[in-house]
A and B are shown apart, each in its own frame.
Chain A
Amino acid sequence: MHEGQESKNTCKMMTGEVERKMERKRLNAQPLALIRKIKGFTRSIVEGLARGSAPLIYIDRFRNYCTDTSGNCSGLPAGKEAISLKRECHARRLDVLLRVLLIVQQLLQEKRHGSKRDIYYMHPTVFKEQSVVDRAINDICILLQCSRHNLNVVSVGNGLVMGWLRYVESGRKIDCISNPNTAYPIPVHVEEVNDILSVAQYVLVVEKESVFQRLANDQFCKRNHCIVITGRGYPDVPTRRFLRLLIDKLHLPVYCLVDCDPYGFDILTTYKFGSLQMAYDATFLQVSEIQWLGVFVQDSDNYSIPQQCLLPLTVEDKRKVEAMLHRCYLQREVPKWRFELELLLYKGVKFEIEALSVHSLTFLSHEYLPSKINNGGCLQLLGWWITSRQYHIRVEAEH
């Protein structure tokens, strides 16, 4: 309880700071400001060429984690990459970057949106591959210090939301409250969402659409005043931006429910720390306030999940877990989560959220979730301590 209160206060402080940062970034990322920056950037290259010097561009390298487990790394850009015309691969990269920049400028000037695929098809002979375009767009975002949607580059939206929420999107009122058990698509243009109104007490993020459907069928949002969101797997950018926006405006606790397997954990960390792909934009995409509600390895014992539902970890699963254990932010920021991951590897079994519905379909909505949320969510301190003692004793015994 006490820990929850503390983290709530830190959350409020952090969100205030992030809000100010976002406001500054929003002003710097307006279309006119970006067009000016693009022109300035191009002018500097042309002037350099006129002087006879080859263009040299520095692009910050962003990573939101490294494998340095000593804990000395910080979250800031890890050095710069220098791109010049001296190396052929760099020359190509520069060529691609300038072409994509031209297209982006057109999009901004004509107030149109395009997807990464659309941009690829503009010059397929030059680009040759989609990944080349993706990297150029990332480079441009870093150079212009903006987010991808500021460049008017959009993707399709895949997320769903339901519950006690009402908002306005591009002048249209979306009233999720009128149908609290119906899924609404998460808007793609999150910057056009405002007038968010909610009487929810918390936000619940679930990994899979099937769990979302289970909650809808159990009328979860009727009994509990909350907002439920799913990214249908790994969350896409609009889902993460929308969640970030909800937390910034509503300052509600966020809980995350994922499968007890490596992919569930990876999805959880994507929500909390951001993905490696979008590391440059992590501050605006990550929801560091998110708490891990479940499902944990101990839940299989605590809730008597039958043996048949526990599947063994495959070789790839184990490899993935071992790779994730090296991520520096785990030890630094969420050692309890790291311990859970180690426990997963140690026990060698995984199971899905649906395993909880085996004894009773309504178990998840009527008992598991309310009890976890009312007990301050996330890992209960005492249970963790006891299990950790058992784990260390077992490990010692083995050696």
Chain B
Amino acid sequence: MGELSRSTIFFSDQHLCYADILSPSQVRARIEVAVLNFLKALSSNSPSISDLSLISRNSSNSRVSRGLLTGDSWIFLSHSFCTRSLTKENSAKSFIRVWKVMEICYQVLVQEKRVTQRELYYKLLCDSPDYFTSQLQVNRTIQDLVALLRCSRYSLGIMASSRGAIAGRLLLQEPDKEVVDCSTCGSSGYAISGDLELLGKLTMGTDARYIIMVEKHAVFQRLAEDRVFNQIPCILITAKGFPDIATRFLLHRMCKMFPNLLVLGLVDWNPAGLAILCTFKFGSIGMGLEAYRYACNIKWLGLRKDDINQLIPKECLVPLKPRDLQIAKSLMSSEILQDSYKEEVAAMVQSGRRAEIEALYCHGYDYLVKFLATKIVQANYL
């Protein structure tokens, strides 16, 4: 809470709702409170079955916060609720599902263990076959529970994997362990753990000037192998595709700890690549209550339409897929996307083509490093 009030001057985000990272005992306490409240309502003088009020996770409840003196802006969910009620026919089952998942999470936390989403699905399938039919339903119910108890999925005891990796001029130290130098971690880099509590306790030190977020694993591996951080003082970070919470959390922490570092994004030239960049930049509401929290002010380094026109030969461009067009549409209609980004999306759709970062290799192997260096020096990023 303290961190939050420091970041905006006018306290315009008093309505901000977020999911806490809590210890198992705290989550158990919240579950116990929920149960006690329910029982109290049931056994009161005028008994009633209380509805579950969950923070609604749709675009009507999302707000944009634009930093006034900082470049940060992010979307957040406000205090608008949707209810799951036992008395209403269409949400009765959802109501019960939330309690069922809460029960199992409680048991898991008492055992001091963790469970994967798949294991949770099988357990629910066996214990309550009438209410759970698919993995997707289980996942949605977990998001409901996160919205109800306002704690992160990981705090509920659900295992999270992280695909993220980091390399470059960064020193990391886990509590009571040795210092890890990410520039000597080889081409696979330092694997980012899925444990947010652990990531929160890392001590970090750096002499880099930039953080470069790379969309794809192959490009990250190539840059790490070529030791680009010896030529450009930077830290490389990748989520190997769509960013997971842990990678975003770590990037967010680094931004807060080293505010002078410039964060740049290197993605493919297609709507999906831009969507990945925007998830780092603004967060996403679709992914539930905790997903928007770790936004950071990342700038779009490449690939952009000028690069496509000047550097990529026509043969390297591939047609857009229908999914790309869908993503482009939702990007264009988003209120938070700046105009310069929307122009780029329009150019993508108009040309009907997309290009991968690897296409730059047609100019030679060391071209990518030169490309990055030139762009950084020219401050050519959006």
Give chain A's interface residues, CB within 8 Å of chain B. Answer: 110, 112-115, 117-118, 120-125, 154-157, 169-170, 172, 182-185, 187-189, 209-210, 213-214, 217-218, 306, 308-309, 352, 354-355, 357-358, 361-362
A188 contact from B113, B188, B359, Cβ within 8 A = B188
- List 22 interface pairs A-B (beta carbons < 8 Å), by A numbering: A113-B225, A118-B358, A118-B361, A121-B356, A123-B362, A124-B316, A154-B221, A155-B218, A156-B221, A157-B221, A169-B186, A187-B186, A187-B188, A188-B187, A210-B118, A210-B161, A213-B159, A213-B161, A352-B118, A354-B122, A357-B123, A358-B122
Asked whether B125 lies within 8 Å of A308 as measured between CB atoms, the reply is: yes
Per the bound structure, the CA–CA distance linking A364 and B217 in Å amounts to 32
Q: Per-residue CB proximity of B343-368 to A under 8 Å, as 1/0?
A: 00000000000001011111001000
Q: Does B126 contact A (CB under 8 A)?
A: yes
B118: A residues at CB distance < 8 A: 210, 352, 354
A188: B residues at CB distance < 8 A: 187-188, 221
A352: B residues at CB distance < 8 A: 118, 122
Give chain B's interface residues, CB within 8 Å of chain A. Answer: 108, 111, 113-116, 118-119, 121-123, 125-126, 129, 159, 161, 165, 184-188, 191, 193, 217-218, 221-222, 225, 313, 315-316, 356, 358-362, 365
Q: A117-B356, A352-B118 are in contact. List 7 more A-B contacts (CB 8 A).
A: A120-B358, A187-B186, A210-B161, A213-B114, A213-B159, A357-B123, A361-B113
Asked whether B313 lies within 8 Å of A124 as measured between CB atoms, the reply is: yes
Per the bound structure, the CA–CA distance linking A110 and B366 in Å amounts to 12
A122: B residues at CB distance < 8 A: 361-362
Asked whether B119 lies within 8 Å of A357 as measured between CB atoms, the reply is: yes
Per the bound structure, the CA–CA distance linking A214 and B159 in Å amounts to 9
A157: B residues at CB distance < 8 A: 188, 221
- The residue in chain B whose Cβ has the minimal distance to the Cβ of A157 is B188
- The residue in chain A whose Cβ has the minimal distance to the Cβ of B165 is A185
Asked whether B123 lies within 8 Å of A358 as measured between CB atoms, the reply is: yes
Per the bound structure, the CA–CA distance linking A223 and B93 in Å amounts to 42
A117: B residues at CB distance < 8 A: 218, 356, 358
Given contacts A124-B315, A189-B187, contact A361 B221 (CB under 8 A): no
- The residue in chain B whose Cβ has the minimal distance to the Cβ of A183 is B191
A218: B residues at CB distance < 8 A: 113
Per the bound structure, the CA–CA distance linking A309 and B126 in Å amounts to 7
Query: When A and B form their complex, which 9 residue pairs have the shortest distance between CB atoms, in order from nearest?
Result: A124-B315, A125-B315, A185-B188, A306-B126, A210-B116, A156-B217, A121-B361, A308-B125, A354-B119
B159 contact from A115, A217, A306, A309, Cβ within 8 A = A217
B315: A residues at CB distance < 8 A: 124-125
CB distance from B217 to the nearest CB of A (A): 4
Asked whether B365 lies within 8 Å of A172 as measured between CB atoms, the reply is: no
B114: A residues at CB distance < 8 A: 213, 217
- The residue in chain B whose Cβ has the minimal distance to the Cβ of A184 is B191
Per the bound structure, the CA–CA distance linking A314 and B185 in Å amounts to 44
Per the bound structure, the CA–CA distance linking A187 and B185 in Å amounts to 11
CB distance from B302 to the nearest CB of A (A): 15
Per the bound structure, the CA–CA distance linking A291 and B104 in Å amounts to 35
B193: A residues at CB distance < 8 A: 182
CB distance from B110 to the nearest CB of A (A): 12
B126 contact from A170, A187, A214, A308, Cβ within 8 A = A308
- The residue in chain A whose Cβ has the minimal distance to the Cβ of B360 is A121
B111: A residues at CB distance < 8 A: 361
CB distance from B364 to the nearest CB of A (A): 9
A123: B residues at CB distance < 8 A: 362
CB distance from A120 to the nearest CB of B (A): 8
Given contacts A124-B315, A185-B191, contact A172 B186 (CB under 8 A): yes
Asked whether A121 lies within 8 Å of B221 as measured between CB atoms, the reply is: no
- The residue in chain B whose Cβ has the minimal distance to the Cβ of A208 is B118
Per the bound structure, the CA–CA distance linking A115 and B220 in Å amounts to 12
- The residue in chain B whose Cβ has the minimal distance to the Cβ of A128 is B315
Per the bound structure, the CA–CA distance linking A361 and B113 in Å amounts to 8
Residue among B113, B123, B316, B359 with max Cβ neighbours from chain A (10 Å): B123
CB distance from A184 to the nearest CB of B (A): 7
Asked whether A114 lies within 8 Å of B113 as measured between CB atoms, the reply is: no
A306: B residues at CB distance < 8 A: 126
- The residue in chain B whose Cβ has the minimal distance to the Cβ of A306 is B126
- The residue in chain B whose Cβ has the minimal distance to the Cβ of A174 is B186
- The residue in chain A whose Cβ has the minimal distance to the Cβ of B366 is A112
Asked whether B125 lies within 8 Å of A309 as measured between CB atoms, the reply is: yes
Per the bound structure, the CA–CA distance linking A308 and B132 in Å amounts to 11
B121: A residues at CB distance < 8 A: 354
Per the bound structure, the CA–CA distance linking A217 and B365 in Å amounts to 42
Asked whether B358 lies within 8 Å of A308 as measured between CB atoms, the reply is: no
- The residue in chain B whose Cβ has the minimal distance to the Cβ of A124 is B315
Asked whether A118 lies within 8 Å of B108 as measured between CB atoms, the reply is: no
CB distance from A352 to the nearest CB of B (A): 7
A184: B residues at CB distance < 8 A: 191
A120: B residues at CB distance < 8 A: 358
Residue among B186, B193, B359, B360 with max Cβ neighbours from chain A (10 Å): B186
B360: A residues at CB distance < 8 A: 121
- The residue in chain B whose Cβ has the minimal distance to the Cβ of A179 is B177
B113: A residues at CB distance < 8 A: 217-218, 361-362
B358: A residues at CB distance < 8 A: 115, 117-118, 120-121
Asked whether A308 lies within 8 Å of B129 as measured between CB atoms, the reply is: yes
Asked whether A124 lies within 8 Å of B119 as measured between CB atoms, the reply is: no
Per the bound structure, the CA–CA distance linking A157 and B161 in Å amounts to 16
Per the bound structure, the CA–CA distance linking A104 and B282 in Å amounts to 42
Per the bound structure, the CA–CA distance linking A157 and B185 in Å amounts to 14
A182: B residues at CB distance < 8 A: 193
Asked whether A357 lies within 8 Å of B122 as measured between CB atoms, the reply is: yes
A170 contact from B119, B122, B186, Cβ within 8 A = B186
- The residue in chain B whose Cβ has the minimal distance to the Cβ of A186 is B188
B365 contact from A112, A170, A187, Cβ within 8 A = A112
- The residue in chain A whose Cβ has the minimal distance to the Cβ of B193 is A182
B129: A residues at CB distance < 8 A: 308
A210: B residues at CB distance < 8 A: 116, 118-119, 159, 161
Per the bound structure, the CA–CA distance linking A220 and B1 in Å amounts to 38
B361: A residues at CB distance < 8 A: 114, 118, 121-122
Per the bound structure, the CA–CA distance linking A361 and B119 in Å amounts to 8
- The residue in chain A whose Cβ has the minimal distance to the Cβ of B120 is A354
B116 contact from A125, A155, A169, A354, Cβ within 8 A = A354
